[in-house]
Amino acid sequence: MSKIRPVKKCYRCGNILQVDSPTEKGYITKEILEASPSGALLLCDECHEEQSKENKGEPNVPEDLLRMLKGAKASDALIVYVIDLFSFECAFSSKINELIQKLNLIVIANKSDLFPKSSYPSLRSFVSHRFRTKGLMIKDDDVFLTSLSSLGDVSEIKREIEERRNGHDVYIIGARTSGQTFFLNAFLRGYSNVSTRYVTTKEYEGKGERYMQIPLDMSSTLFQTPPISLSNSILGIMDLESALTIMPKDIIKTRKTSLKPGEGLFFGPLAFLFYEKSNSHHVELEIRASMKIDIVKANDLGKEKTFTKLRNASSLELKIGDLEYYDAYDIEIEESGKRDIGVAGLGFVSFKGDNQKFRIYVPRGVAIYCSRSKM
């Protein structure tokens, strides 16, 4: 009688897995293949190595920024770190953090208008906690919430900068779209030049973008810097125009739903969060994501079909492949407090920790995080 057996493929590159030739496509170490339970998602050795590099989940950082921060370190400058409160958790770079670790640092936590005022105190402590987990030892008092797009008044921050810089240079850093430009525009309102030098702009890396240098006194300067990239963010897999349409504009509404084991949620075609199991039967979720994203429930079996439907219906210009080539991560919740699972640039889902197991699928290279709850 004939026998039919599925052929094992690498779920990342799609090549048929083989154990004979390390130099050919799809090679996987025999012991790994033999030790894997049937039905497990497998990676060939090459993809496994690639993915373990990528899974550090950090964004690309312009060389010019690193060069400038070496200067900042040498001159004991003050760093003003601008973040987008909605999504900054995965925008850190260990290379940057190493350079600025010992410098004075203040954080401008921008886009506070997206959150209810009642959450401001907890947002500040969430931000400072997140910085500390990245080795940047700041206190809640070092975090300033702003809404720079609504012509926010930055005079308090200006005073803090003046006080904390001790006559030294200042470097504004942050990820693209966090609000650096809005901050500098606000800073320049009411600025008066007390030096004999001009406000100038300088082009870095020949990309046509220019960055400001603003004299603060006769010998010190405030430097705008090239932004940290969105390479590990959902915003990085679409053109800037699409990215701007999915960035939330108004206070983020909370959408509530619950999942039973075996069910998952699609965030448009951009991510799929699958709920595997927990102690209790179902999990209550609070979702905070752009309202432009359709959130659709699907079970594991129906996920490919739902994905295709959502992708075909999407008006966004997306650089994504099929769901089978998405990166997949297993998340096991060990804490019992309120937790968030988030996708860089897309949003986050909050729930009460109870030994749940989730699997999340995101376009290749997009970073995810799991942390205590932001709200």
The answer to whether the CB of 187 falls within 8 A of the CB of 160 is no
110 binds Mg ion, rule: CB under 5 A: no
174 binds ligand GDP, rule: CB under 6 A: yes
Which tokens go with 139?
Answer: 């206190």
Q: How far is the CB of 182 from Mg ion (least distance, A)?
A: 8
Neighbours of 138 (CB within 10 A): 19
181 binds Mg ion, rule: CB under 5 A: yes
Q: What are the E-state strand segments in the chain?
A: 78-84, 104-110, 143-146, 170-174, 200-203, 210-215, 221-224, 255-259, 263-267, 271-277, 283-289, 295-299, 327-332, 338-343, 347-352, 357-362, 368-372
Q: How far is the CB of 102 from ligand GDP (least distance, A)?
A: 25
Q: How far apart are the first and last CA of the chain?
A: 61
226 binds ligand GDP, rule: CB under 6 A: no
Within 231-290, which residues bind ligand GDP (CB under 6 A)? 244, 249
Q: How far is the CB of 326 from ligand GDP (least distance, A)?
A: 27
CA 280 centroid distance within chain: 30
- Secondary structure (DSSP) of 280-303: SS-EEEEEEE-TTS-EEEEESTTH
How many whole angstroms separate alpha carbon 273 and alpha carbon 329? Answer: 10
Beta strands 295-299 and 210-215, pairing class:
unpaired
Q: How far is the CB of 181 from ligand GDP (least distance, A)?
A: 3
**118: CB partners within 8 A, 6+ apart:** none
**Quick one: 181 or 350, whose CB is closer to Mg ion?**
181
Report the partner that residue 269 touches, choosing among ligand GDP, Mg ion, none (CB closer than 5 to 8 A by kind). Answer: none
Site string for Mg ion, 190-229 (x = CB under 5 A): ----------------------------------------
Which tokens go with 120?
Answer: 């401001």
Within 110-149, which residues bind ligand GDP (CB under 6 A)? 110-111, 113-114, 147-149
**Quick one: 81 or 307, whose CB is closer to Mg ion?**
81
Within 305-344, which residues bind Mg ion (CB under 5 A)? none
Report the partner that residue 200 touches, choosing among Mg ion, ligand GDP, none (CB closer than 5 to 8 A by kind). Answer: none
CA-wise closest residue to 112 among 132, 155, 83, 139: 83
**Quick one: 243 or 320, whose CB is closer to Mg ion?**
243
Which tokens go with 290?
Answer: 């752009």
Q: How far is the CB of 224 from Mg ion (least distance, A)?
A: 8
The answer to whether the CB of 291 falls within 8 A of the CB of 247 is no
**Quick one: 179 or 264, whose CB is closer to ligand GDP?**
179
Site string for Mg ion, 139-178 (x = CB under 5 A): ----------------------------------------
Report the partner that residue 244 touches, choosing among Mg ion, ligand GDP, none (CB closer than 5 to 8 A by kind). Answer: ligand GDP
Q: How far is the CB of 264 from ligand GDP (least distance, A)?
A: 29
Q: How far is the CB of 237 from Mg ion (least distance, A)?
A: 20
Strand 200-203's sheet: what is its strand order? 143-146, 104-110, 78-84, 170-174, 221-224, 210-215, 200-203
Positions in the binding site for ligand GDP (CB under 6 A)? 110-111, 113-114, 147-149, 174, 176-182, 227, 244, 249
Residues that bind Mg ion (CB under 5 A): 181
